[in-house]
DNA sequence: CCCGGGATGATCT
DNA sequence: GATCATCCCGGGG
């Protein structure tokens, strides 16, 4: 469908201070890294706010979801099923609480380190839990700001082995090139508001999440 | 305090 | 397709 948008027209704050439904598709192609592993985001889901029954923010602020109510452009990390850590970018309009769940990514840098963290050589980040593992997430990072240092305009890819600035901190970078075709469909793994097309992915990517909804629901899907 | 439930993944049949 | 691992959180006693 749509090809790509240049986020540079907006400031960092302005870009994330919008509805997750707008930001989620535009976050495709962004680079996410910790200074060792760099990932290219290929699949996202928007979680709106208190009006979205599938959102963790539904029902108001609690200790677990408090970073969803914090500044846009920071991260919201939560534990899932006891074992996994999932990564969101906080993003919402003023007075609301929203986030974009990053469901899948392609490893572009630090492949061996990602494989080490994952304990395997394939399926490194094609799923929210796997992605969290490849990134080396911890709950201590919950709420941390994702803005790149303003002093450094370069890609983390180019400076990984030179600039210690990038280490021990999660950073998010806009794409340098067009990202390609974007597809959308229902979100995965939720039981409420299952029909809203708030899941977005790069149609040509080979690193998408398996998406258990496909196998669970059989062949009820046509817009994948 | 106890209890149940996940925005999941790995493994087995 | 089914099971289970595993733990934090939130709500109800």
Rounded Cα distance between A193 and A187, Å, is: 9
Kindly calculate the radius of gyration of chain A based on its CA atoms and give it in whole angstroms: 16
Two tokens at A217? 């629901």
- Alpha-helix runs per DSSP H in A20-160: 20-26, 111-118, 128-135, 156-159
- Of A124, A78, A70, which is closest to residue A95 (Cα–Cα)? A70
Residue-level pLDDT at A211: 78
pLDDT tens digits for A142-157?
A: 999 999 987 444 444 4
Rounded Cα distance between A162 and A159, Å, is: 5
Q: Tell me which residues have their CB below 7 A from strand C.
A: A 59, 62-65, 79, 81-83, 139, 215-216, 218
- CB burial of residue A84 (10 Å; 0-12, 13-18, 19+): middle
pTM of the model: 0.87
Two tokens at A46? 């928007």
CB A99 within 8 A of CB A108: no
Q: Is the CB of A24 under 7 A from strand B?
A: no
Distance, Å, A202 CA → C13 C1': 48
Percent share of chain A, pLDDT over 70 = 82
Distance, Å, A51 CA → C11 C1': 20
For C2, nearest residue by CA–C1' is A216
Residue-level pLDDT at A8: 63
The number of C-alpha atoms within 13 Å of A52 and in the hemisphere containing its C-beta is 25
pLDDT tens digits for A160-181?
A: 333 334 446 899 999 999 999 9
Rounded Cα distance between A201 and A103, Å, is: 9
CB A16 within 8 A of CB A97: no
pLDDT tens digits for A49-92?
A: 878 999 999 989 999 999 999 999 999 999 999 999 999 999 99
The number of C-alpha atoms within 13 Å of A99 and in the hemisphere containing its C-beta is 27
pLDDT tens digits for A82-139?
A: 999 999 999 998 778 999 999 999 999 999 999 999 999 999 999 999 999 999 999 9
Output A50 or A204, whichever has higher pLDDT. Answer: A204
Residue-level pLDDT at A195: 87
Q: Is the CB of A67 under 7 A from strand B?
A: no
Rounded Cα distance between A192 and A178, Å, is: 34
Tell me the pLDDT band of A213, cut-offs 50, 70 and 90.
low
Nucleotide nearest to A218 (CA to C1'): C1
Distance, Å, A190 CA → C11 C1': 20
Rounded Cα distance between A61 and A99, Å, is: 13
């Amino acid at each position: 469908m749509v090809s790509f948008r240049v986020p540079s027209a907006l400031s960092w704050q302005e870009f994330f201070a919008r509805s997750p439904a707008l930001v989620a598709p535009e976050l495709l192609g962004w680079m996410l890294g910790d200074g060792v592993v760099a990932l290219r985001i290929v699949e996202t889901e928007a979680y709106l706010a208190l009006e979205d029954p599938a959102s963790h923010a539904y029902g108001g602020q609690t200790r677990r979801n408090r970073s969803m109510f914090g500044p846009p452009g920071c991260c919201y990390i939560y534990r899932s099923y006891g074992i996994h850590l999932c990564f969101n970018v906080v993003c919402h309009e003023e007075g609301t609480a929203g986030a974009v769940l990053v469901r899948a990514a392609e490893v572009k840098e630090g492949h061996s380190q990602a494989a080490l963290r994952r304990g395997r050589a394939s399926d490194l980040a094609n799923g929210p839990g796997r992605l969290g593992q490849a990134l080396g997430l911890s709950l201590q990072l919950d709420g941390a700001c994702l803005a790149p240092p303003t002093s450094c305009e370069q890609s983390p890819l180019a400076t990984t082995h030179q600039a210690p600035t990038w280490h021990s901190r999660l950073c998010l970078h806009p794409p340098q090139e067009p990202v390609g075709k974007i597809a959308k469909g229902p979100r995965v793994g939720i039981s409420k508001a299952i029909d809203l097309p708030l899941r977005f992915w790069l149609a040509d990517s080979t690193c998408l999440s398996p998406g258990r909804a496909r196998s669970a629901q059989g062949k009820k899907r046509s817009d994948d």
